[in-house]
Amino acid sequence: MPIDGPLRNTSVSLGAGEFFQLLRDRKPRTRADLIAITGQSRSTIATRIDALMSTGLIGPAGTAGSTGGRRPATFAFQPGARAVLAVDLGATHARLAVTDLASTVVAATDAPLSIAAGPDVVLPWVVRAGRELLDAAGRDVDDLAALGIGLPGPVEHSTGRPINPPIMPGWDDVDVPGLLGAELGVDVLVDNDVNIMALGEHRAAWPQVSDLLLVKVSTGIGAGIIADGALRRGAQGAAGDIGHMVVPGADHVPCRCGNTGCLEAVASGQAVAAALSAQGLEAADSADVVALVRSKGLAASQAVRQAGRDIGGVLASCVSMLNPSVIVIGGIVADAGEHLIAGIREAVYRRSLPLATQHLRIVTSRARVGAGVLGASAMAIDHVLSPAAIDALAA
């Protein structure tokens, strides 16, 4: 039997890192509160408070009410102590944000940026734009605690390197954490764009939901999985790669991966654009599809609804597999009004078993375009404020 429960990672008495976790909820607490909560001695608590005060991560938070005598001082987490740079890179677009250590956005910016320009162009751009944004936020580079970044392709979780990313020529096995970290002098956390969206959407809009699936429908199609409250990445970080699941009945459609009938080849924004342009409509990409739907184009609305049905057919399999209680549909094609989600709902409810769908909600993203940077920020903060990182910082 494995050792389970709270102490599995500790080998000494309550260190600064574990102690700090108690304060992450931002509530002010007195020394007496902290002694009562932890069962540690007065002198240990004093040492921990001093160490964390010296890092700036906690600070005085006024005085508490008292039953008499001098009112005791309280301490609380100071999320503004450091800054985090959060980056969400898409196929043709970049979004950056500077946040505090509670994922509150201090400054944000958007820019067109082609990921296909390769790492030699994109990574220096990220460093430059990141420095400018820090400056705009009134923060020094020395204030930076970490950088979180999402990339539009598979990322090996253990190394932070892209692995054979189909729309990212020149990026295979590139040491993104090493290259960005060398320039900015901080730890760099990398994941795919859909996982950071799932993390951002979950933290921002559905923190009480334990099982959630975030599906991004844009140039490609992918999913991020929250199960039992945490992002699940699988053995190599490739979980959620639903774009190459088979669409029943579409076996004849070739996909760039070499197989046929893949969801991405049938129902992505790119696939819908190609189908519409074969009908003589002007549709080069997902944005054109959304524009056509908004201008009341019947063919475009029908095509998006059918894409929804095809996505729903695959999501029915995901529902059978994972039994989520919420499916969030994000990505630019989700902006095409109700057509996409109506098609998805139709197919999911038709194909899934009652136990799995009786409490299932299928909704559009609430955090919307901000989900990615919120997730990138949360990923970086979870790293910076982990017990081990705080122990090292406070040592």
> Which parts of 162-221 interact with a second copy (CB under 8 A)?
163-164, 203, 207, 210-211
Task: By CB under 8 A, tell whether 395 contacts a second copy.
Answer: no
Q: Which of residues 33-62 bind a second copy (CB under 8 A)?
A: 36-40, 44
Q: Which of residues 318-337 bind a second copy (CB under 8 A)?
A: 318, 320-325
Where are the extended beta strands (E) located within 241-370? 326-330, 361-364
Task: By CB under 8 A, tell whether 228 contacts a second copy.
Answer: yes
Q: Which two tokens stand for residue 32?
A: 């007496």
**Strand 105-112 relative to strand 161-162, pairing:** unpaired
Closer to a second copy by Cβ: residue 113 or 347: 347
Binding segment (CB under 8 A) for a second copy, from list 138-146, 300-308, 310-318, 366-374: 310-318
Kindly state the smallest distance separating residue 265's Cβ from a second copy, in Å.
13
Per-residue binder mask for a second copy (CB under 8 A), 105-134, x = binder = ------------------------------
Query: Collapsing DSSP states into helix, strand and coil, what is residue 354?
Result: helix
Kindly state the smallest distance separating residue 50's Cβ from a second copy, in Å.
18
Q: Which residue is it, tokens 């029943």? A: 248
**H/E run at residue 97:** strand 93-99
**Phi and psi (nearest 5°) for 148?**
-115, 135
Which residues are bridge partners to 362 per DSSP?
327
Binding segment (CB under 8 A) for a second copy, from list 19-27, 60-68, 113-121, 128-136: 19-27
Query: Collapsing DSSP states into helix, strand and coil, what is residue 391?
Result: helix
Cβ-based neighbours of 98, under 8 Å, separated by 6 or more: 83, 84, 85, 86, 105, 106, 107, 108, 133, 134, 136, 137, 139
Task: By CB under 8 A, tell whether 298 contacts a second copy.
Answer: no
Q: 193-205 and 371-384 helices cross at what angle (nearest 10)? A: 90
Measured distance CA(261)–CA(303) in Å, rounded: 17
Query: Collapsing DSSP states into helix, strand and coil, what is residue 281?
Result: coil
Q: Which of 60, 62, 249, 254 is close enough to bind a second copy by CB under 8 A?
A: 249
Q: Which of 130, 237, 312, 330 is close enough to bind a second copy by CB under 8 A?
A: 237
Q: What is the DSSP letter of 88?
A: E
Q: Which of 225, 329, 336, 384 is close enough to bind a second copy by CB under 8 A?
A: 225
Measured distance CA(135)–CA(300) in Å, rounded: 43
Binding segment (CB under 8 A) for a second copy, from list 68-76, 180-188, 233-241, 281-289: 233-241
Binding segment (CB under 8 A) for a second copy, from list 90-98, 240-248, 279-287, 297-305: 240-248
Per-residue binder mask for a second copy (CB under 8 A), 340-379, x = binder = ----------xxxxxxx-xxx-----------------x-
